[in-house]
Amino acid sequence: MNAPMDHHDARADGNWPLRPVLLAGIGAAAALVIQQLLGKPLEPPVDRLALAIAIGTGAIGFGFVAQRLRLQWAVVFSLVIGAATGLIVFWQGLPGGSPDFWSWRLACLFLAIAIAAPLFQTARDEGRFKLPYANLYGHALTNVVLWFAAWSFVAVVWLMSWLLAALFNLIKIDFLEKLLGKDWFVALLLGASFGAAVGLFRERDRILRLLQNVVTSVLSVLAPALGAGLLLFLIALPFTGLDALWEATKSTTPILLSCVVGALILANAVIGTGEDDRAANPLLRFGAMALALVTFPLAGIAGFATGLRIGQHGFTPDRLWALTFVIFATAFGIAYLVSLLRGRMDWAGQARTANVRLAIAIAAVALFLATPIVSFNAISTADQVARLTSGKVSPDKFDWRALAFDFGEPGKTALKRLAASANPKVAAKAVAVAKAGNRYEVGELVEQDRALAGIAERLRILPKTVPIPPELLKILPGFAACGREINAQCTLVYTPGATEAWAMQSACFDEVPQPSGTPPMVTAPNCQIGRITLSNGEWKIVELNLAPPMALAERQRLAAAFARGQVEIRPVARRQLFVGGVPVGEPFE
């Protein structure tokens, strides 16, 4: 299956010997400027960061769209996308201020540019805004192939440079190794090699067309296999039920969306750019139809999974982005289903038309979402805080870590408001979380509170059940005492008014091993007895006593005695060597 090139493509991709040299120079200069902007300090201000990203985007964009035909158009296009990217990044601020921008929003921005590039290239070839599908599809696929081919060339250049450096080192000449240790030289090398690669591949159009043909041919062969597999999956669902999807993994939506993307790619590899380019093999055609048929139900199930998570746990930026991509997938699913219903065996033409319209729409929506006009952080913050203040979620189960570190400035602002809440539990938690310096510390606070909330239910007190001082109770969920596992039973040796207590995790003792089984944790170094003392009104874990290894019969007797509550503290007399009144070495038995 060969993607045809019409007269517009042939004229646009004509010989231009200066192109590799020109693009190598632009790539080297852009990479060097970016390195100088971002190299020092380690966290550059937002204006320098925005300028660096703008230069990189504009330079790469020019390399991909530059042709002798209407060269000034390519210059304007690269300047526009560079300026737009820089302004949007500057608008968003530094990475710490808007976490979702430096993941999904930035991805949306470059998705919009990636779609805009073949649209521009096709219009440039036509000399007006006209989008023949064959040219548009050809440019889109060429750009994808060119991207990976150029970076492969860069990797080869990098490896070759280090090989030469190692070779010269054999004869005590280390100038190349020293150069490769310089950031400015690395930037020049990578930028020049990427630009040269784009120019060289553009000058060897046959190689790109050959790579396109190989890619589409291989992908089209996979269409029947994936189509049959996805159909069988949908047929099996009524018998297994949707509950199996939620029980198997928490990544149901990403997996389903990946299947939708794979189905769209393989289906388009089969239908090609037109009737003359369409696969002739009936098996491939039916495979493409099967893929078109399953796209909508897969997107629908992904939407249902996302809606279920939102209903249970509320909005988060990630769930809103998942919902966005589900909408994109559903749009393609509906378009392909309508194409099948209308065109039946001749559905491909309508699907190609839908591809162009949806690509333009997605580019526009993606560009809009890349801007801070709509803030998923603010939407998520408002929803989560409403769930907390309404009592739908208790302070102990609320995701404080996400509010403090995942929702950007709206989350931090809401945290300050919650610190002044009329609910004392909410206010105390908000104050504690605000003092945390990182996600790990917040996680520790949350886990500690959850463990503390259930410590009384999992505690056995020996020699008899008595009230436990609140301050002692607070320290028990520590790792060196009863641990954090909310279902792990713990035994505490304590008498009223005592200034000492001993905590033991029950799992260390109450697991009776079988002769062929693994020994209980009592023989493991992480199974310990925590000695807790009261000093100056504060309970502290001051000593850990590790249990020594023992024979199987001894372990079984120990487990049985522990289960009966035969636990006590006894003074033990030992002998030890003293030199000049100072003990030396470990005590003797």
Read off the pLDDT of residues 18-77 as tens digits, 9 standing for 90 and up.
889 999 999 999 999 999 888 766 677 888 888 999 999 999 999 999 988 888 999 999
For 220-237, the pLDDT digits (tens) are 888 999 999 999 999 988
So what's the pLDDT on residue 61?
94
So what's the pLDDT on residue 7?
39
So what's the pLDDT on residue 11?
42
Q: Is the pTM of this model over 0.85?
A: no
So what's the pLDDT on residue 548?
61
**For a pLDDT cut of 70, what percent of the chain falls above it?**
86
Asked whether the predicted pLDDT for residue 518 surpasses 60, the reply is: no
In the numeric block, the tokens 């302070």 are attached to 395
So what's the pLDDT on residue 387?
92
Give the highest mean pLDDT range of 169-173, 293-297, 374-378, 493-497. Answer: 293-297
- Which strands, in side-by-side order, build the sheet including 500-505? 459-462, 490-493, 500-505, 528-535, 538-546
Average pLDDT of the chain?
83
So what's the pLDDT on residue 198?
93
Chain-centroid distance of CA 165 in Å reads: 36
For 569-581, the pLDDT digits (tens) are 878 777 877 776 7
For 309-357, the pLDDT digits (tens) are 898 889 988 899 999 999 999 999 999 999 999 988 888 889 999 999 9
Least confident range of 11-20, 177-186, 339-348: 11-20
Confidence of residue 208 (pLDDT cuts 50, 70, 90): confident
Structure token digits, residue 431:
């104050």
For 286-317, the pLDDT digits (tens) are 998 999 999 999 999 999 989 988 988 899 88
Query: In sequence order, what DSSP letters do the residues of 69-130 get, joined into one string?
Result: TTHHHHHHHHHHHHHHHHHHHHHH-SGGG-TTIIIIIHHHHHHHHHHHHHHHHHHHHHTSS-
- Let me know if 392 is exposed, middle or buried by CB neighbors in 10 A (0-12, 13-18, 19+): exposed
Query: In sequence order, what DSSP letters do the residues of 204-246 get, joined into one string?
Result: -HHHHHHHHHHHHHHHHHHHHHHHHHHHHHHHHHHHH-THHHH
For 441-491, the pLDDT digits (tens) are 777 676 677 667 677 778 888 888 888 888 888 878 877 778 777 777 888
The predicted model gives 372-397 an average pLDDT of 88
Nearest CA-CA partner of 569 in 476, 475, 504, 519: 504
Do the beta carbons of residue 339 and residue 358 sit within 8 Å? no
Cα–Cα distance measured from residue 306 to residue 167, given in angstroms and rounded to the nearest whole number: 55
Asked whether the predicted pLDDT for residue 133 surpasses 60, the reply is: yes
Give the highest mean pLDDT range of 168-172, 184-188, 220-224. Answer: 184-188
Q: Indicate the Cα dihedral angle 542, 543, 544, 545, nearest 10°.
A: -160
So what's the pLDDT on residue 9?
45
* Host H or E run for residue 269: helix 252-271
What one-letter code names the amino acid at 436? A
Confidence of residue 589 (pLDDT cuts 50, 70, 90): low
The predicted model gives 534-543 an average pLDDT of 81
DSSP 501: E
Confidence of residue 12 (pLDDT cuts 50, 70, 90): very low
What one-letter code names the amino acid at 310? I
What one-letter code names the amino acid at 494? Y
Q: What share of the chain is helix, strand, coil (3-state, %, to 5)?
A: 65, 5, 25
For 92-107, the pLDDT digits (tens) are 765 555 555 567 888 8
Contacts of residue 372, Cβ cutoff 8 Å, sequence gap at least 6: 91, 92, 98, 101
Confidence of residue 4 (pLDDT cuts 50, 70, 90): very low
